[in-house]
């Protein structure tokens, strides 16, 4: 008998990013941070707003930062932030 949806909801899913993705996320976030700072924005506030809303207007186009942010997987960014904060 195949598992039901309820059975699947009780299982913890394991998500493993491709090797090197963590490094890429960190490097791209650093580039976006620097572009925001150069333009006089508060990079932490701008990045937090972008990550919570997904709205690209929080990221400057300076140095291609908005394009870089759009290419990032926001889940991967949050995972990397949690990894760095909690480990």
Q: What secondary structure, in 3-state letters, does 7-49 show? A: HHHCCCCCCCCCCCHHHHHHHHHHHHHHHHHHCCCCHHHHHHH
How many structural domains does the chain have?
Answer: 1
60 domain residue, yes or no: yes
Residue 3 lies in a domain: no
Q: Which residue, among 24, 36, 26, 41, has the nearest Cα to 63 in the 3D structure? A: 36
Percent of the chain with pLDDT over 90: 52
Q: In angstroms, rounded to a whole number, what is the distance separating the alpha carbons of residues 32 and 35?
A: 5
61 pLDDT band (50/70/90 cuts)?
A: very high
Quote the Cα angle for 10-15-19, to 5°.
165
Q: How many CB atoms lie within 10 A of CB 24?
A: 15
Residue 10 lies in a domain: no
Considering only residues 14 and 57, tell me which one the structure prediction assigns the higher pLDDT. Answer: 57
Q: Is residue 23 one of the residues assigned to a domain?
A: yes
**3 pLDDT higher than 60:** no
CA 4 to chain centre: 32
Query: Domain for residue 25, yes or no?
Result: yes
In a domain, 11, yes or no: no
pTM listed for this prediction: 0.75
Domain housing 24? 19-86
């Amino acid at each position: 008998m195949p598992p039901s949806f309820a059975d699947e909801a009780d299982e913890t899913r394991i998500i493993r990013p491709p090797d090197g993705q963590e490094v890429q996320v960190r490097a791209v976030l650093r580039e976006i941070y620097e572009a925001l700072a150069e333009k006089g924005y508060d990079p932490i506030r701008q990045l937090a707003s972008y990550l919570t809303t997904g709205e690209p207007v929080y990221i400057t186009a300076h140095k291609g930062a908005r394009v870089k942010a759009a290419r990032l997987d926001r889940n991967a960014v949050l995972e990397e932030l949690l990894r760095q904060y909690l480990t």
